[in-house]
Amino acid sequence: MEWKTAVTDILGCRYPILQGAMERLADWRLAAAVANAGAHGIITGSISRTPEKLREDILTCKEATAGAPGTFGVNLSIGLCPDIEKMLEVCIDEKVPVETSVYKPDALAPMIKQGGIPWIHKAARVKDAVHAQELGPDAIILVGVEGAGIKNPDQLPTMTTIIWGRKQLTVPIIAAGGIGSARGFLAALGMGADGIMMGSAFMATRECRIADSMKEAITRLNPEDPDLRRRVLTPGPPRRPADPSAAETAPRETDWSQAVSLAAGVIDHVPTVKEFIDGIISEANEIINGWAFLKTR
Ligand SMILES: Cc1cc2nc3c(=O)[nH]c(=O)nc-3n(C[C@H](O)[C@H](O)[C@H](O)COP(=O)(O)O)c2cc1C
């Protein structure tokens, strides 16, 4: 079946699946692997650090994804990405979609709109999404409390957030938070989303730049483990492994399992990015075909 939605129309990718930005991890290599597998990869702007390096990374990624069934864009995390306006200028110049995230995008919005590139904004609360929608993004990512990264004390579970968001937003929604399998993908579409974003699940793919031992450790995590639950569900700054200075220079030696979300419950092997995305799509097709009640009307 064709997985064409408002999100694939906006981003030009084959599947309505996005890879989330990941500070220190999701560089152009991961974004390229995702685009080559038919989804939408994201280069984390804070990894490129300078506008010059970001342009270089975008050009390398374009070369690595020429003719790909998927696409890629750049994440500009407000408050985290250095020199953000200059970074945005590069994205506009190179005509790549941007994803803004973490804080209010009000200051960047006029420049993005004038630049004419596709724009998606990531919010943790429906109320912030409603505010952002007024600024004219093409789509909004809503992240539930089960997700990694952004944490707001008022954040709701993914299911509640997406369904409630669907009632209040007119722009397409991308669901994130705790998703890592075909069932989560289909559930998100059922809740009214037009696509999904996953971060943690991509940490356990072969192309992610963390150590293999760490990926194996992620597959053994249990979302009912009290420490994991507490780490993910307690409001506060994004959960990052201890010793960030070491992580900066040696991401492979850092305990990245500390940053994984409740998606841990469905991460049970370490596939390539292509195996992972193909697996979600083929399992989603199988599940839909198995839902006999859908065919009785
Ligand atoms: C290690 C890690 C680092 C992340 N860094 C960022 C970031 O810099 N900016 C951002 O907007 N989101 C960041 N995120 C959040 C992801 O882009 C995505 O929204 C989130 O992982 C979705 O939830 P999931 O992990 O349950 O799939 C990060 C996630 C992880 C796991």
Give, in order, the Cα–Cα distances in Å from 88 to each of 23, 70, 174: 17, 22, 22
Q: How many domains does the chain contain in total?
A: 1
DSSP 139: E
Quick one: pLDDT at residue 77? 97
247 confidence band (pLDDT: 50, 70, 90): very low
Quick one: pLDDT at residue 295? 74
What is the rounded CA–CA span in Å between residue 21 and residue 294?
35
pTM, two decimals, is 0.96
Residue 189 domain flag: yes
Distance 292 CA to ligand 1 centre (A): 36
pLDDT tens by residue, 222-246: 999 999 999 999 887 766 666 545 4
3-state secondary structure 78-110: CCCCCCHHHHHHHHHHCCCCEEEECCCCCCCHH
Q: Which of 37-41, 125-129, 245-249 has the lowest mean pLDDT?
A: 245-249
From the CA atom positions of the chain, what is the Rg in Å? 18
Residue 1 domain flag: no
Q: Which of 83-87, 151-155, 158-162, 210-214 has the lowest mean pLDDT?
A: 151-155
DSSP 282: H
> 51-68 b/e with 16+ CB inside 10 Å = b?
beebbebbeebbebbeeb
Residue 176 domain flag: yes
Cβ–ligand 1 contact at 25 (below 6 Å): yes
Residue 162 domain flag: yes
Q: Atom 2, ligand 1: which residue's CA is nearest?
A: 22
Cβ–ligand 1 contact at 35 (below 6 Å): no
125: tokens are 């609360």
The beta strand positions in the chain, using DSSP E, are 17-19, 40-44, 71-77, 98-101, 119-123, 139-143, 173-176, 195-198
What is the rounded CA–CA span in Å between residue 99 and residue 101?
6
Cβ–ligand 1 contact at 179 (below 6 Å): yes
Cβ–ligand 1 contact at 259 (below 6 Å): yes
Give, in order, the Cα–Cα distances in Å from 203 to each of 29, 68, 106, 148, 289: 13, 22, 31, 11, 30
> 128-150 b/e with 16+ CB inside 10 Å = b?
bbeebbebebbbbbbbbbbbbbb
Q: Single out the residue of 207, 219, 222, 195 nearest to residue 281, CA to CA.
A: 195
Q: Residue 205 is part of which domain span?
A: 6-295
Q: Can you give the CATH number for the domain in which 260 is found?
A: 3.20.20.70
Residue 148 domain flag: yes
Quick one: pLDDT at residue 239? 64
Greater pLDDT, 215 or 297? 215
Cβ–ligand 1 contact at 147 (below 6 Å): yes
156: tokens are 């709701």
Residue 99 domain flag: yes
Strand partners of residue 220: none
Distance 236 CA to ligand 1 centre (A): 14
What value does the mean pLDDT take over residues 260-270?
96
Residue 161 domain flag: yes
